[in-house]
Every structure is written in structure tokens, then in C-alpha cells.
Amino acid sequence: MDLLKAHQKIQEAERAAAGKDWVEGGWVFPDERGRIASHRKDWSEWKELLKTANVRDARLHDARHTAATVLLILGVPERVVMGLMGWSTTAMAARYQHMVDAVRAEVARQVDSLMWKSGDERPS
């Protein structure tokens, strides 16, 4: 929330600087005059952010896949993930969330604990 509040202050300064040229569109991340942001500028700023952060190059859309998969790893309930990601169907979760070894291992651990009580001998 602190980042969004800081962003809002920057946007208020841009609104004041633009004066009558400001177009109120209700965008969270508009351009400096309130209009919808240019996808080209968005792309170049994304690439600059990756470079500054010294992380591998990736498409902005890849960040959505990463976020969805991280939520899966954290065990966030599907309905919550859908709300956070703006999805209306569970099919989107299937498209964006990728099964990873950490999730498989946790499922195996849970099944194991249901089937075998501590101290029981497991079949070899």
C-alpha cells in the first residue's frame, strides 16, 4: 500500500503540472497527462526495470505466470488467486499456474502423512 500511496502522490503532481491538459480516465498507471499509457513506453520501462534489477530478460506477461505460480506454491486458495489475478474462470488458473517440484513434494508429503502414521513401517 505504501508504494501505491507514493505513486498516487506522484500522479497528483503530474495532474497539477498538466493542468487543463489532464484527462481524467481513472487509470492507476496513466501517462503524464492522465491518458492510457503507451504500450511501447510500458514495454521499454519494463525492460529498463529488468536491467536495473539485474534479472533475466522476460516478457511483461511472463510476470503474470510467475505470480500465479508463486501463489500456487504458497497454497493460496484458488478463489483468492482468481480475485487477485482478475480471472472469472478456473480455466485461467490452469493456463497460468505451472506445476513445480515444490508443489509435487508437498502433495506427496501430505499423502504420506495420511497413509502412514509415525512409527509405522513403510513397504519397500
Q: Do 65 and 49 reside in the same domain of the chain?
A: no
What is the distance between the alpha carbons of residues 58 and 56, in angstroms, rounded to a whole number? Answer: 6
On whether residue 122 sits in a domain, the answer given is: no
Predicted local confidence at residue 54, as pLDDT: 95
Identity of residue 73: I
Which of 53, 72, 87 is a domain's end point?
53
Predicted local confidence at residue 21, as pLDDT: 95
Predicted local confidence at residue 121, as pLDDT: 65
- Decide if 32 contacts 12 (C-beta within 8 A): no
Mean confidence (pLDDT) of the chain:
87
Q: Do 105 and 66 reside in the same domain of the chain?
A: yes
Confidence band, pLDDT 50/70/90 cuts, at residue 108: confident
Structural domain for 6, as ranges: 2-53
Predicted local confidence at residue 17, as pLDDT: 94
Number of domains observed in the structure of the chain? 2
Tell me how far the alpha carbon of residue 44 is from its chain's centroid: 19
On whether residue 123 sits in a domain, the answer given is: no
Tell me how far the alpha carbon of residue 15 is from its chain's centroid: 28
Q: Do 105 and 77 reside in the same domain of the chain?
A: yes
On whether residue 124 sits in a domain, the answer given is: no
